Amino acid sequence: MIRDLPQEERPRERLRNYGPSSLSTAELLAIILRTGTQSESVLSLSTRLMSQFGGLSGLARASYDELCSVHGFGDAKTTQVKAAFELGKRALSLHENERPTVHSPQDVANLLQGEMAFLEQEHLRVVLLNTRNRIQSIHEVYKGNVNSAVIRAGEIFREAVRSNAPAVILAHNHPSGDPAPSDEDVQITRRIIDAGKLLDIEVLDHVVLAQRGFVSLKERKLGFD
C-alpha cells in the first residue's frame, strides 16, 4: 500500500505538498490504484504496468480484458484505470454549455489531442465555427482510412450546411505518433478548401494531431495557397 512507503516517497503526500506536476506518470497511477499486492508495492505495480503496455498511450488503448489479465490486477483496479482515462477524455471534450473560441491551432489541439492522439485508427473530424470563431459543434466524418479516395466534400460540409456554419476546421490524427502531414493530407486539404469556396464556407485550418505533437497545415502553408 502507499502508506507502507517511506514518507518522502509517498505520491499522495508529494502531490499535496508540491502539486500533481511534480509526480511521474507511474506515481500518479499509483495514487489511482491505491494498493499493490502482498509481494509488490503499488508503485512497483504501476511501474510494471507502464512498462508492460509501453507507456501511457499503450495503457490508454489497453482493453478491459488485457488489463484484467495483468498479475496483481483484477476487476476493481481495471475499472479504476478505465474510469480515470474516461474522466480525462470527458474533461477535454466539448460540453453543451461551454463553447470555446478558437484563436489558434493550439486551441484545437487542447480540445482534441488528448483523445485523438491515442486512437489506433485515423479519424477525421470537422469543427464547426460561428462568425466569432466560437465552436458550434464537432462531428466525426471518417474513421479508418482517411485518404483522398474515400473523402467526399459532401460529407465534410454536410453538418456545416445544415447548421449554417460559416467556417470549419479539419482535424485528423496520425496513429503512428508523427504529426508531419503527408502529401495526401495536403492534397485533401486543398480539395476541401476549393469545395468550401463553392459553398461559401471557409476552411480555416487543418490540424494533424499525434502523440508527438500537432501540426497546422495553414501555419506551414500546406494546401492554403
Residues 119 and 212 in one domain: yes
Residue 99 lies in a domain: no
Q: Which of 58, 92, 126 is the last residue before a domain boundary?
A: 92
List, in sequence order, the alpha helices (H) in the chain: 11-18, 25-33, 42-52, 56-61, 64-68, 75-92, 105-116, 153-163, 183-199
Residues 77 and 120 in one domain: no
For 68, the domain range is: 2-92
Q: In total, how many domains does the chain have? A: 2
Distinct helix (H) and strand (E) counts, the chain: 9, 5
176 and 121 housed in the same domain: yes
Last-in-domain residue among 37, 58, 92 = 92
Question: Is the domain of 136 the same as that of 83?
Answer: no
Provide the residue-wise pLDDT of the chain in tens; the chain has 225 residues. Answer: 445 555 445 788 888 888 888 888 889 999 999 998 888 989 899 999 989 988 887 898 889 999 999 988 889 999 999 999 888 877 665 554 567 889 999 999 999 998 898 888 899 999 999 999 999 889 989 888 777 667 889 999 999 998 899 999 999 999 999 999 999 999 999 999 999 999 999 999 999 999 999 999 999 999 998
Q: Which of 92, 114, 137 is the last residue of a domain?
A: 92
* 192 plus 170 within the same structural domain: yes
